[in-house]
Amino acid sequence: GENVEQHPSTLSVQEGDSAVIKCTYSDSASNYFPWYKQELGKGPQLIIDIRSNVGEKKDQRIAVTLNKTAKHFSLHITETQPEDSAVYFCAALEPFGNEKLTFGTGTRLTIIP
Amino acid sequence: NAGVTQTPKFQVLKTGQSMTLQCAQDMNHEYMSWYRQDPGMGLRLIHYSVGAGITDQGEVPNGYNVSRSTTEDFPLRLLSAAPSQTSVYFCASRPGARYGTDTQYFGPGTRLTVL
């Protein structure tokens, strides 16, 4: 089955700086890679996603890049704000049949005012 | 739309007790899943369903049962609670690949403590 590794586990950045979180996956057949944000006491919420036929996707201050050859994808947050403080999870979707979504272990991002 | 709802929000059980965590979605999604979240472990898949009447095991299924008699509901049953099942449980749903989107929606979670 799929295995997703996520780094770093914790990340602190100064407000206004950029944050980058990286994930690698093991199954080359995986074709969908979402990123979730989880605030304290809440369920994860999708913030951006990318399919395997696309190399990069942006949504305002958030971007995701995908390198299929190296089997890794990254979340980039620019001009960070205090409300970006949360736990972020990456995931990979195994296609064909079971279609399971496998998650990384999460990154706790803290924005320092 | 209420989205994905879960009840209860909090529950305390004694070892050996059984209970059912409820999950419902009103988006007519085909796929539903149960995850548990433990510190440092991320979200681990317990059981999932690709449609009414169809369920399968995920990564950590032992000690849990599920059924999917309707599209809307996907209850998770703890047969005989153990302290190792202390965790936060999330239910999730998504439309299914044939609808052209894989976006998965999560419920607010149930915090379970087993004494």
- Chain B residues in contact with A10 (beta carbon < 8 A): none
Q: Do A105 and B42 touch (CB under 8 A)?
A: yes
Q: Is the pLDDT of residue B80 over 90?
A: yes
Find the closest chain B residue to A10 by CA distance: B40
Higher pLDDT, A40 or A20: A20
Look up residue B17 and give its two tokens. 């007790």
- Chain A residues in contact with B105 (beta carbon < 8 A): 46
Q: Is the pLDDT of residue A96 over 70?
A: no
pLDDT at position A94, please? Answer: 82
**How far off is chain B from A90, nearest CA to CA, in Å?**
10
Number of H helices, E strands in chain B: 0, 11
Q: Is the pLDDT of residue A106 over 80?
A: yes
Find the closest chain B residue to A44 by CA distance: B106
Between CA A22 and CA A37 the distance in angstroms is 14
pLDDT at position A70, please? Answer: 94
A10 touches chain B (CB under 8 A): no
The whole-number average pLDDT for the span A70-80 is 97
Q: Is the pLDDT of residue A15 over 70?
A: yes
Between CA B115 and CA B109 the distance in angstroms is 19
Q: Is the pLDDT of residue A98 over 80?
A: no
pLDDT tens, B18-44?
A: 999 999 999 999 999 999 999 877 899
Q: Is the pLDDT of residue B105 over 80?
A: yes
pLDDT at position A97, please? Answer: 60
Look up residue B15 and give its two tokens. 């070892």
For B10-46, give the DSSP string: EEEE-TT--EEEEEEESS--SEEEEEEEETTTEEEEE
Pick from A1, A43, A102: which is nearest to B106 by CB? A43
Percent of chain B residues topping a pLDDT of 90: 83
